[in-house]
Amino acid sequence: MNQLDQYIRSIPDFPEKGIIFRDITSVLEKPESLKLAIDEILGKLEGVDFDVVVGPESRGFVFGMPVAYELNKSFAMVRKKGKLPCETIEKEYDLEYGSAVVEMHKTSVKPGQKVVIVDDLIATGGTIEAIISMVEELGAEVVKIVFLIELAGLKGREKLKNYDVESVICYEGK
């Protein structure tokens, strides 16, 4: 068991019966667990050569920004469509029921840059797959993807099989 696991609140039958919701707000509420979470993510990046941290709205901001700050890297935001003011690139991806669109500024990453993506959780992998597509379309290279939590039962890692993916905590179920 990972030391951070004790801080993650597991809520049964939310949002529907049979699902165990892994709540990270309990990690954010305590200085020691927040520091531990950031330190664990930083540990997954030891020895990785990269230029930019990319994080999806909103919890990718929470965990990606302190990583970028600590390692003196830039940070690129990925947001829901319509939230960024400058010229953007966008990707649509599938959700369990329907689809969504994410976007990032075209200037967020540059050709030849090496990118690390940081997010709180991988479930089905659709959001990160869309982010990878945008990063690569802009000419940058995804060199690592780090999640605080992985829900292995949803098989999101399979969509990312061509990339270096790590998670701090892996739960076998959904």
Check 22, 40, 59, 157 and give the catalytic one.
59
Place of tokens 């399979």: 158
Check 32, 46, 87, 96 and give the catalytic one.
96
59 noted as active-site residue = yes
> DSSP character for 127?
H
Q: CB-based contacts of 159: which residues, under 8 Å, 6+ apart? A: 124, 125, 126, 128, 129
96 noted as active-site residue = yes
Q: Is 16 exposed, middle or buried (CB count within 10 Å of its CB: 0-12, 13-18, 19+)?
A: exposed
Question: Is-contact 172 152, C-beta < 8 A?
Answer: yes
Q: Which amino acid is at 84?
A: L
CA angle, 148 as apex, 142 and 153 as ends, to 5°? 95
Q: What is the dihedral of CA 138, 142, 146, 147, to 10 degrees?
A: 40
What residues act catalytically? Answer: 59, 96
